[in-house]
A = this chain, B = another copy of it.
Amino acid sequence: MSKVMVLNQKAIEEVLDMKQVIEVIEKVYLSKSTDSAVVWPMIFYEFEPGNADMDIKSGYLKENEIYGLKLVSWFSENGKKELPLLYGTTLVFDSNTGAPIGLLDAEYITGMRTGAAGAIGAKYLARKDSENLLMIGAGHQATFQIAATLIAMDNINTVRIYDAMDLDKAKSLSSSLKEKLTEKFLSRYEKGTELYDSIAKKFDANVEVVTDIKEAVGKSDIIITATPSRKPMIMKEWVKKGTHFSCVGSDMEGKQEIDENIFKSARVYVDDIVQAIKVGEVEIPIKKGIVEKKDIIAEIGELVAGYTSGRNSDDDITIYDTTGIALQDLATSKLALDLAKEKGLGVEVDL
């Protein structure tokens, strides 16, 4: 008999704060680079090609004393049934005993850990004096990316939002951003504390909707792309010296968000080298022969560990290509379980 904590999205939203998630994901990257983490082979199955599929990603995080899996199902017809198209479920085990310890909805955790990933790219690779953040894509992931990057960086004063597909979406995000940041992220900290005040100040950046992407790119120090795009939206000629890219959207063969030529003269980092080459933003530049595998400087964990250097000068273009790994979900799930226990949230069941 085991005590298993069940955390749904509501409970997870209540316990997770982005600053802690960023710290957890940095440690995951570090564990991966120091071989104290293992990613197991992914299982992927298409029930109906192009219409319904599922994958199981699993792994072991020695330092967090957990292993487990995340199963994500995508059923394109669910909209007609008024059900979500995606279901994500995470199951966590204690690696000291093998006992199941947690069952969690994966959606909000995926948002948090992906936001943290983009921000960690900026933290380790962007210029410290970066003031202008350009968010490409105004979908579900955008708020997580903006919140995390504002928290991870110290000098951002302008956030620009661009959406190639849907200007109204960009406008709507822009007008609701402050409220969302306050409600979903700032409210996790205690009012009156130094931490609260510092994050509140960071969240007070100007927010603008962008229609001329070329002009916006030219003004940006940090560009985060989180779209389902299959062709480049940002051309090399538009990019000013010293720009950092966190490419978050590409996680499947054929996806591409930025001009492959940007890679030629950029310093390129990835979260997982095998996966990035297969499905990340670096897939196309490698397939087109613009860069080779050896041109990828390192996995980000090696940068976090200090095994390799990041940007060499204020003029470098840097790219962090993140495809997302199960270890991020597991570590963030463990954080949520620990916090929920502390705060008496979630439902504990006898399994």
Binding site for B on A (CB under 8 A): 1-2, 4, 6, 8-9, 38, 40-41, 43, 45, 47, 52, 54, 56, 58, 60, 67, 69, 71, 73-75, 78, 81, 83, 86-87, 89, 91, 93, 95-100, 103-105, 347, 349-351
Contacts and interface: CB of A to CB of B under 8 A. Distances in A.
B97 A89 contact: no
A191 to B, nearest CB: 30
Contact of A1 (B9, B43, B103, B104): B9
Contact of A40 (B9, B45, B75): B45
Contacts of A83: 97, 99
- For this chain, the copies found in one complex come to 2
Contact of A350 (B1, B8, B41, B96): B8
A89 to B, nearest CB: 5
Contacts of A74: 98
A55 B134 CA distance: 44
B43 A38 contact: no
A103 B104 CA distance: 11
Contacts of A38: 45
A80 to B, nearest CB: 11
Nearest to A73: B98
Contacts of A98: 52, 54, 73-75, 78, 86-87
A213 to B, nearest CB: 35
A75 B95 CA distance: 9
A55 to B, nearest CB: 10
Contact of A93 (B40, B54, B58): B54
B78 A97 contact: yes
11 contacts: A4-B6, A43-B58, A47-B60, A52-B98, A56-B69, A71-B100, A75-B96, A87-B99, A89-B93, A89-B351, A104-B351
